[in-house]
Amino acid sequence: MNDRLRKYRNLTMMGIFTLATLIALIPLFGVLGYVVKNGFSALNLEFFINLPKAMGLSGGGMANAIVGTLIMVVIASIIGIPIGILTAIYLTEYDRNSWFSIAVRFATDVLTGIPSIIVGIVIYTAVVLKMGHFSALAGGLSLAIIMTPLIIRSTEEMLKLVSHSIREAGYALGISKRIIILRIILPTAAKGIITGAMLAIARVSGETAPLIFTALGNQYWAHSLNEPIAALPVQIYQYATSPYKEWHQQAWAGSLVLISMVIILNLIARLVFRSRSN
């Protein structure tokens, strides 16, 4: 009797867990399915190579927005990845437990949780207003600010996974600390660090709010990093909130491109992390 009751209870619990999991999956597949359904029909080659066309003309694309997003993500990566990795090295290899490193870690966590629109406002005030114009540089900078704390934390976790015995092995061979970090610890943690960086890139490539304040958006090609520049999420926002049906279609197509970029980055990150040498 007791046995049957136990089995019955086990089964019920398992049912509850399974159900919760299925419910959690609904939004994911719902969002994906909806974007694919609406975006796929509007997606064609022209979307990737043409500029947006004036209202009423068909065949416009978001080439400038795709390139704009790539440019700003590259700017953000150039700033955010080195600073993030170097800071993480400082925190793990040089200063693990002082009040300063604890403060840095805390600040990093706070920065990770800050709503991105606030980063946008700050860069708007500090950079855009000072320079007198919106720009790819300001946009890239705001993305870098969102990216850096993500990189710091993911890199730090990966460096902490490198066993202390590996560092000691290096010291015991009479190798200097600088070389141990550069030639032993970093290569050991490389896959994890790259994975973390790619996930951070995926995360910022969908950011919209800070770019509205900093890059603004642009219907044409930007000719320098000092002018307003288009970005996919901003373009999606502007098109989706317009009254025109054709623009709505384009917004869906843009969403599909953006979500595909994020998924591909995630997949590559996973492949990198899983790959083994030999």
What is the x/- site pattern for another protein, positions 75-114, by CB under 8 A?
A: ----------------------x-----------------
Cα-based angle 54, 142, 215 (whole degrees, multiple of 5): 20
Give the tokens for residue 92.
């793990």
Cα-based angle 168, 170, 172 (whole degrees, multiple of 5): 70
Binding status of residue 168 toward another protein by CB under 8 A: yes
Binding residue (CB under 8 A) for another protein from 50, 188, 226, 242: 188
Total binding residues for another protein by CB under 8 A?
22
Q: Least Å distance between CB 165 and another protein?
A: 4
Answer positive or negative: Cα dihedral of 207, 212, 216, 219.
positive
Q: Least Å distance between CB 162 and another protein?
A: 8
Binding status of residue 17 toward another protein by CB under 8 A: no
Binding residue (CB under 8 A) for another protein from 184, 225, 262, 272: 184
Listed in sequence order, the DSSP H helices in 1-135 are 2-40, 45-49, 63-89, 99-113, 116-123, 129-131
Select from 66, 56, 75 the least CA-distant residue to 127: 75
Select from 83, 84, 101, 100 the least CA-distant residue to 92: 101
Binding status of residue 275 toward another protein by CB under 8 A: no
Pick 188 or 242: Cβ nearer another protein: 188
Pick 42 or 175: Cβ nearer another protein: 175
Give the tokens for residue 205.
């490539």
Residues that bind another protein in the complex, under the rule CB under 8 A: 97, 163, 165-166, 168-176, 179-180, 183-184, 187-188, 190, 277-278
